[in-house]
């Protein structure tokens, strides 16, 4: 299921085939900072300190192109801060002492958030950032890059941009259809349900034709009924040839769709490996899963409402903690 409107690279090396992915990742050593056969993102010596507390301290990390990599870790492990750092929403404390990260052959060390997005690495947010007082369609159209009409001087003259606009509308409708949001296109985004907002945000990110998409807790606060379809969408992105890196709390989800798992704790990468390997690693269980020690990590019960509510509460606590830091 290849998306005709996506101009990004098509399926690469047959990675839509599970066996091929398994074979590819099997050769990678399951250790923090292990080299990958074809890394799309390489991060070196990136640290971030908030008022004396080290939130992120990653020495070396590589993300394999064309697969789904999950980033897991307990609350406060620095996952979101790490996301913020590599997408240009935050500056590393180590900016002047050797921090560097390369994406698709480009050095991103000193780049603003918008240039990171323009380089092809697009992110979503833990708390969805749908533009509530704009229509779903307008939300989508904002995703398209290199619009002539977004330049001030051309903006006043409709003929300069109307044909491009038409193409963007078509592309947006195509994506909305794929994400089952087409009939909502003229509604205000504020009126969508939490899950639909997540879908919209993902669809909007795809409007930028990314090479790599970074999802910050895509399942948080999503109605379980929508979870399956979200998972399906994420997998189809990979099958289209995109690289996916996502933060997730839900172990079941992680085990279900990820080809590779990176574990963070206290700002460091403490383990890497295929989902099964990592999750059975007792060290990881101790380091990370203390809170859920009594539950089976891959247990479907985690998808139950109660468990999800619990996770949501955790997310909320983490968020308010973060807001506290900002205030």
Counting contacts by CB under 8 A, is residue 326 touching other proteins? yes
Where does this chain touch other proteins (CB under 8 A) — which range of 119-127, 176-184, 232-240, 260-268?
119-127
Q: How far is the CB of 57 from other proteins (least distance, A)?
A: 16
- Cβ-proximal residues to 218 (8 Å cutoff; 6+ apart), any chain: 124, 198, 202, 230, 234, 246, 248
Counting contacts by CB under 8 A, is residue 131 touching other proteins? yes
Counting contacts by CB under 8 A, is residue 227 touching other proteins? no
Distance between CA 218 and CA 298 in Å, rounded? 18
Chain centre to alpha carbon of residue 31: 22
Counting contacts by CB under 8 A, is residue 75 touching other proteins? no
Interacting residue with other proteins among 113, 283, 291, 301 (CB under 8 A): 113
Interacting residue with other proteins among 64, 81, 94, 258 (CB under 8 A): 81
For other proteins, the binding residues in 177-196 under the rule CB under 8 A are 188, 190
Interacting residue with other proteins among 152, 225, 293, 306 (CB under 8 A): 152
Interacting residue with other proteins among 15, 136, 205, 219 (CB under 8 A): 205
Interacting residue with other proteins among 27, 133, 159, 305 (CB under 8 A): 133
Phi, psi of 123 (to 5 degrees): -120, 160
Where does this chain touch other proteins (CB under 8 A) — which range of 5-13, 132-140, 254-262, 267-275?
132-140
Neighbours of 307 (CB within 10 A): 18
For residue 211, give both structure tokens: 């090479």
Interacting residue with other proteins among 50, 177, 295, 309 (CB under 8 A): 50
Counting contacts by CB under 8 A, is residue 26 touching other proteins? no
For other proteins, the closer of residues 124 and 254 by Cβ is 124
Q: How far is the CB of 142 from other proteins (least distance, A)?
A: 5
Counting contacts by CB under 8 A, is residue 64 touching other proteins? no
Q: What is the phi-psi region of residue 296: left when phi exceeds 0, alpha when psi lies from -120 to 50, beta otherwise? A: beta
What radius of gyration do the chain's Cα atoms show? 20
Could you tell me which of 141, 85, 146 has the C-alpha nearest to residue 116?
85
Sheet with 268-273, strands from edge to edge, namely 121-123, 212-216, 243-247, 68-72, 260-265, 268-273
Chain centre to alpha carbon of residue 273: 19
Residue matched to tokens 């109605």: 223
| Long-range contacts at 104-110 (CB < 8 A, ≥ 24 apart) | 104/40, 104/41, 104/211, 104/212
Counting contacts by CB under 8 A, is residue 324 touching other proteins? yes
Counting contacts by CB under 8 A, is residue 245 touching other proteins? no
Residue numbers of the site for other proteins (CB under 8 A)? 50-51, 81, 84, 87-90, 112-115, 117-118, 122-125, 129-134, 138, 141-143, 145, 147-152, 155-158, 161, 165, 188, 190, 204-205, 207-208, 320-327
């Amino acid at each position: 299921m290849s998306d005709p409107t996506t101009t990004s690279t098509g399926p690469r090396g047959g990675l839509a085939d599970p066996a091929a992915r398994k074979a590819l990742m099997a050769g990678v050593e399951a250790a923090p900072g292990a080299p990958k056969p074809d890394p799309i993102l390489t991060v070196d010596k990136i640290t971030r300190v908030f008022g004396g507390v080290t939130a992120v301290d990653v020495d070396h990390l590589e993300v394999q192109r064309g697969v789904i990599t999950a980033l897991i870790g307990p609350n406060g492990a620095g996952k979101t801060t790490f996301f913020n750092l590599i997408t240009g929403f935050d500056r590393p404390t180590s900016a002047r002492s050797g921090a560097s990260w390369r994406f698709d052959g480009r050095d991103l060390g000193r780049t603003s958030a918008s240039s990171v997005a323009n380089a092809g690495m697009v992110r979503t947010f833990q708390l969805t950032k749908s533009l509530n007082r704009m229509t779903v369609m307008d939300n989508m159209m904002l995703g398209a890059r290199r619009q002539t009409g977004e330049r001030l001087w051309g903006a006043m003259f409709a003929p300069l941009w109307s044909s491009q606009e038409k193409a963007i509308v078509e592309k947006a409708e195509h994506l909305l259809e794929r994400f089952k949001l087409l009939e909502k296109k003229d509604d205000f985004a504020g009126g969508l349900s939490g899950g639909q907002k997540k879908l919209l945000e993902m669809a909007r990110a795809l409007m930028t034709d990314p090479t790599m998409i970074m999802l910050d807790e895509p399942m948080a606060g999503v109605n379980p009924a929508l979870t399956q379809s979200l998972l399906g969408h994420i997998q189809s992105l990979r099958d289209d040839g995109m690289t996916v890196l996502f933060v997730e709390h839900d172990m079941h989800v992680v085990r279900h769709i990820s080809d590779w798992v990176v574990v963070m704790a206290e700002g460091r990468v403490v383990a890497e490996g295929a989902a099964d390997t990592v999750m059975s690693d007792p060290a990881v269980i101790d380091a990370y899963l203390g809170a859920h020690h009594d539950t089976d990590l891959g247990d479907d019960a985690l998808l139950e409402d109660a468990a999800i509510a619990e996770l949501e509460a955790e997310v909320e606590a983490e968020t308010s903690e973060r807001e506290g830091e900002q205030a």
